[in-house]
Structure 1
Amino acid sequence: MITTLNETTSSAISKKMTEMRETFGATTLGSVLTLIIVATGEDIDAPLEAAVRASHEHPSRVIVVDADTDEPTGLDAEIRVGRDAGAGEIVILRARGETMSSLDTLINPLLLPDSPIVTWWPEDAPSSPVHDVLGSISQRRITDAASSSDPVASLKRLRRGYASGDSDLSWARLTRWRGLVATAYEAPPVGLPQRVTVHGSKKDLTVRLLAAWLALELGVDVKVENTPDAPAGPQAVVLEREDDTVELRRGEGDAVVISLPGDQEDQTVPMPERSLYELLAEELRRLDPDEVYGEALAQAFSKVEDASTFAKDKPEPTDAVSESLEAAAVRAADDVAAHLAEAISARGEAHLVVTGGTIGTATAEALPAAFSEHEVDPEAVHVWWGDERFVDAESEDRNHQAVRTGFLEKIAFASGKLHPIPSTSSGMSLDEAAAWYGQELDRAGGDRPFRTRGEAFFDVLLLGVGPDGHIASLFPRHPSQQLDGASAVAVVDSPKPPPLRISLTWPVLNSSRHVALLAAGEGKAQAVADAHRGIAPWEVPASSVRGLETTTWYLDAAAAGDAAAS
C-alpha cells in the first residue's frame, strides 16, 4: 500500500502512518530500529531496494530524506506499508527549500521510540557524520565513500571526521577477504610473516583498508603493489615467511585461489561480489561501534596532512601597509567589497567571514561605504563569523555585537543570509553550539571544499591577529588546533578571556579565495614578523591561513615594523 501526501507536515505524516498501521496491520511493533537514508543522488531505488530486503532480517522503519534546496519551500511525503515496504514501513520525505534547515525537527516525530537510529548516506556523505544534524542523533552512521566522485579523497575526509559509531561499506566489502586471509595465515605451520604485499589499485579503498588492517594485525609494514588497471577489490595478498609463502590471489570469475605451504594443490574458494543489500544487512547486524574499522581507517591514512598542509602550495602573502589603523581598515574594506562584487558577478552570490577586535571592527564599519562604491548587492551576500565568544547574546564580548552596529544594521541583508554563531542564550551547550554551526556551514555547501585542498567556499575571510599570533580562536600550542575533523570546534580554557569559545577549524579557514589578515599597533609587530617567517601553525597560527587566490596583510605602520608605508 502506497499513500502520497502533498504539502504536508511531519505531524500529518505521523498521523497518517498510525491510520495505515491500524488498517493494514501493526507492522512496526516488531521493528528493531529506525534506518534513515539520506538521498544525495538522483537514484533512490537501489538503496530503497536494499533496505527493503534487509528489513526481513532487521525489521525497520525506513525514512528516506530526498532533498532539493533549489525548489520552493515545502514538504511532500510517500508512505509505504505491507508488501511495498518489506518487513517494516517506509516514509519518503521530499523536502524542498528552507524545509531542510529544520531537518531534525522534521525527522524527530517519525522516529521509532526507544529504538536505535542508523543513518546511511549511499553516496556523498558529510566529512564528519557525527556532526551532521542526522548523524548526531544516530548510534551508527554508514557511508559509502566508493560511491563518491573521488573515493580516496572522500575516505580521507571521513578519517579526519571519524567518530566511534562510523563505518563505511568499503569495510564490509572486505569481510570475506579478511576471513580468508586470517584462515590461510593460521594454517600450520604458523609463523609471523617478514613481508606482506597487497596487490591492487591504490585508488581502491578496499585495497588500502586491507593493507592497513594487515599492518595492524601482524605488526609489520605492508606494501601495496599498485596495479592501476586492476578490477575492483584486492587482487592478491602475499605473506612471505622465513621458509615459505602464503598466497591468496584472484582466479577465474569470482574465485580466490589459495596457495598454502605443504599443499600439493591450490584451494579455490568462490567469492562473488556482494550486493548492496548484503553489505547493508551486515552493517545492521551490529549496532555497537566497529572499533577495528576505526583503527584500520586511521592506519590507512596515518600520514594525513597536519594543519600546515592546508596553507601550503598557495600564493605567497603580500603586505598592504598604511600609516594608521583607520587607513588600513578602509583599504581592507575596499578590497573586500571589490572581491565580493566579483564573486557575485561570477557566481550569483558571495560568502564573507567577519571578525572582531579593534581593526576588525573598524574594517566592518568601513564596509557600508565600500559596498556602495563597488555596487555590492547585499541581498547576494552571506555573512559568517570566524569565531565567537560563548557568552550571552547581548554581551559586549561577542564579535557579533562588535560588527552589528557599524555594519550589519546599516546594510539591508536578505533574510537567512546572516549566520551568527550561537550564544549561551540559545540554550545549547558549548559542544552542541559548535556542532550546530559546523552543520550550518556544511549544509551551505562547504563540506567538500572544507576537506579538499585546492577548493574554496568563502570568497573573503577577514581575520584579526592577536599579539600572540592567534587567529579566530586558534591559539598557539592550544589543543583546539588539533581538532580539524569538524567545521567548527568548541574551545575551552582559552588563554584569552572569556574561556569558552567556538572557532572555525584549519581546513575551513583555508577554504577561502581571498584572505585578509588584519593587524594594527606596535603590540602586534612581533606576531606579524613571526608569521612572515613561514608556515608554523602550532607556534604561530596566523602564519597558516592562506587564500586560494590572494592572502593580504593589512597593517598600520606600527604593526608592520620595518616595512615602509605603501
Structure 2
Amino acid sequence: MAASHRVSVFPSPRELGPALARLVAERAAATGSGRFSLGLSGGSLVGILSRDLPAAIAAAGPAAPSRWLVAFCDERLVPPEHPESTAGAYAAQLLPQLPAPGPRVLAPATGLPPAAAAADYAAQLRQAFPGEDVPVFDLLVLGLGPDGHTCSLFPGHPLLQEKEKTVAAITDSPKPPPERITLTLPVLNAARMVVFVATGEGKAAVLKRILEGDEENPLPAARVRPRPGQLRWLLDEPAARELTIPVEKHPVP
C-alpha cells in the first residue's frame, strides 16, 4: 500500500457516516475562503451523506456551501426523477438541507444521447476548472461494487484504458441501466483526495483483492491511485472482515 493509503474501519454505517461527513466538512474548511470542489457518487452514499453531512457542516462553521462546487462522478442517463438518478437523489435528499445559498452543482444533461451527454459534461468541467487539462477536485467520494467497479468503470471494460477524455460515455454497462457517463481514471487520479466508502459483507472478498492483492490486471477501484493526492478507505466491520493488513479501528463512541 502507498504511504498515504489509509484504511479506517467502523462498527457499522451508523458510525461511518458521521466520520465521512466530518472529513468532507474539514476538507472544505481547509480551503479557507477559496472554492471547495467535491465529486460525489450515488447509491448508498446519498443516504449516508444526507443523514450526516448537514450537521457536520454546521459544526465546521466557516465552510459555507455557497463556496462549494459539487459534481457527480458518474450518472445514469435517466430522468432526474428516476430512482436510479444520482443527481436527482442528491437534489431531493441532501441539497435542500444545506444552508442557502447552496453550492454550484454541475449536473449531467441526461436527456442527450450518451456521447453527447459525455461531451456536454466535459465542457461543463472545462468551464468550471479553467486552465486545467484534467480537473483537479479537492475531494472525490467514491463507492465500490462487489465486482470491484467504481463510478461506471467496470472490470475488463475498454474505458479503463481511456487516457484522453475526462468524461466518457458507456452504453453497455453490465449493471443496469446500460447508458451512463462517467469520470475517467485520469480525473480520479488527479484529485487531491479520494475517499472510498464500502459497507457490508458482500464487499469483503473484493476489498481483500484490492487492498492486499497484487494483480497483473487490477480491478477498476485498485487503479485509483491519486498522485500526489491522498487515498482513504472508510469501511464497516463486515466489509473489512477478510483483511489482514493494519487498519485504524474506530469503536462505537
- Offset at 1:378? 0.8
Q: Is 1:540 aligned to 2:228, yes or no? A: no
> Counterparts in 2 of 1:228-247, with a 5 A limit?
none
Larger RCO (alpha carbons 8 Å, 6+ apart): 2
Q: Displacement, 1:360?
A: 4.7
Contact 2:65 2:103 in 1 (8 A): no
1:517 aligned onto 2:173: no
Output the CA distance in 1 between the equivalents of 2:47 and 2:88.
10
> Over alpha carbons, which structure has the higher Rg?
1
* TM-score between both structures, scaled by the size of structure 1: 0.41
Residues 38-77 of structure 1 mapped to structure 2, 5 A cutoff: none
Query: What is the number of equivalent residue pairs in this alignment?
Result: 244
- Could you tell me how far apart the structure 1 residues matched to 2:100 and 2:110 are? 21
Matched, 1:341 2:29: yes
CA 403–353 in structure 1, closer or farther in 2 if over 3 Å, else same: same
For residues 308-457 of structure 1, the aligned pairs below 5 Å read 315-343=3-31, 345=32, 348-375=34-61, 376-412=63-99, 414=101, 417-424=104-111, 428-445=112-129, 448=132, 450=134, 457=136
Structure 2 unaligned residues grouped into runs of 5+: none
Compared CA separation, residues 416 and 372, structure 1 to 2 (3 A) = closer
Q: In the alignment, is the contact (CA less than 8 A) between 1:535 and 1:543 conserved in 2?
A: no
Runs of 4+ in 1 over 6 A off after TM superposition: none
Measured in 2, the distance between the counterparts of 1:390 and 1:533 equals 34
Structure 1: runs of 5+ lacking an equivalent: 1-311, 451-455
- Compute the RMSD of aligned alpha carbons: 2.3
Q: Are the structure 2 counterparts of residues 540 and 506 from structure 1 closer, same or farther at C-alpha, using a change threshold of 3 Å?
A: same
Q: Which amino acid aligns with 1:367?
A: L
1:321–1:557 contact (8 Å) kept in structure 2: yes
Give, in whole Å, the separation in 2 of the partners of 1:558 and 1:532.
15
Contact 1:449 1:511 in 2 (8 A): no
Contact 1:353 1:461 survives alignment (8 Å): yes
Q: For the residues of structure 2 that align with 1:316 and 1:354, how far apart are their CA atoms?
A: 21
Distance across 2 between alignment mates of 1:446 and 1:512: 16
Percentage of identical aligned residues? 33
- CA spacing shift, 1:361–1:449, aligned 2, 3 Å: farther
Counterparts in 2 of 1:333 and 1:414: CA distance versus 1, 3 Å? same
SS in 2 for 1:353: strand
1:330 counterpart SS class:
helix
Cα gap change, 1:482/1:315 in structure 2, threshold over 3 Å: closer, same or farther? same
User: TM-score when scaled to structure 2?
Assistant: 0.88
Shift of 1:457: 1.7
Cα shift at 1:483 = 2.6
Question: Residue by residue, what CA displacement relative to the aligned partner does 1:479-519 show, whole Å, maximum 9, x if unpaired?
Answer: 22223311100011101010011000111111211111010
1:355–1:361: 8 Å Cα contact kept in structure 2? no
Residue 400 of structure 1: how far off its partner (Å): 1.4
Equivalent-residue separation in structure 2 for 1:374 and 1:416 (angstroms): 16
